[in-house]
Amino acid sequence: MLDIDFAFLLEVLVGGLLSGVMYSLVAIGFVLIYKTSGVLNFAQGAQLLFAALTFVSLVERGLSFPLALLVTFVVMVLLGLAIERTVLRPLVNQPPITLFMATLGLSYVIEGGAQLLWGTQVHALELGIPDEPIDFHGVLISQFDLFAAATAGALVALLSVFFRYTHVGLAFRAVADDTFAAIAVGLRLPRIWATVWATAGVIALAAGLLWGARLGVQFSLSQVVLKALPVLVLGGFDSILGAIVGGLLIGAFEKLAEVYLGPFVGGGIESWFAYVVALGFLLVKPSGLFGQRLVERA
Kindly report, residue by residue over 269-297, the tens digit of the pLDDT: 888 899 999 999 888 888 888 876 654 44
Q: Which domains does the chain have, with CATH numbers?
A: 2-284 (1.10.3470)
In angstroms, the Cα distances linking 238 to 126, 148, 156, 198 are 33, 24, 15, 18
In angstroms, the Cα distances linking 72 to 142, 149, 224, 268 are 27, 21, 20, 35
Q: Find all residues with CB under 8 Å of 137, minimum gap 6, and list them.
A: none
What is the sign, positive or negative, of the torsion defined by CA atoms of 7, 8, 14, 18?
positive
Residue 176's pLDDT is 64
Predicted TM-score of the model (pTM): 0.85
Residue 177's pLDDT is 64
Residue 223's pLDDT is 84
Query: 292 with 241: CB under 8 angstroms?
Result: no
Q: Which residues pair with 142 in a beta bridge?
A: 133
How would you write the chain as a 3-class SS string?
A: CHHHHHHHHHHHHHHHHHHHHHHHHHHHHHHHHHHHHCCCCCCHHHHHHHHHHHHHHHHHCCCCHHHHHHHHHHHHHHHHHHHHHHHHHHHCCCCHHHHHHHHHHHHHHHHHHHHHHHCCCCECCCCCCCCCEEEECCEEEEHHHHHHHHHHHHHHHHHHHHHHHCHHHHHHHHHHHCHHHHHHCCCCHHHHHHHHHHHHHHHHHHHHHHHHHHHCECHHHHHHHHHHHHHHHHHCCCCHHHHHHHHHHHHHHHHHHHHHCHHHHCCCCCCCHHHHHHHHHHHHCCCCCCCCCCCCCC
| Rounded-to-integer distance, Cα 165 and Cα 171, Å | 10
Cα–Cα–Cα angle for 67, 69, 71, nearest 5°? 70
Residues of the chain with pLDDT under 70: 1-5, 173, 176-183, 185-186, 292-298
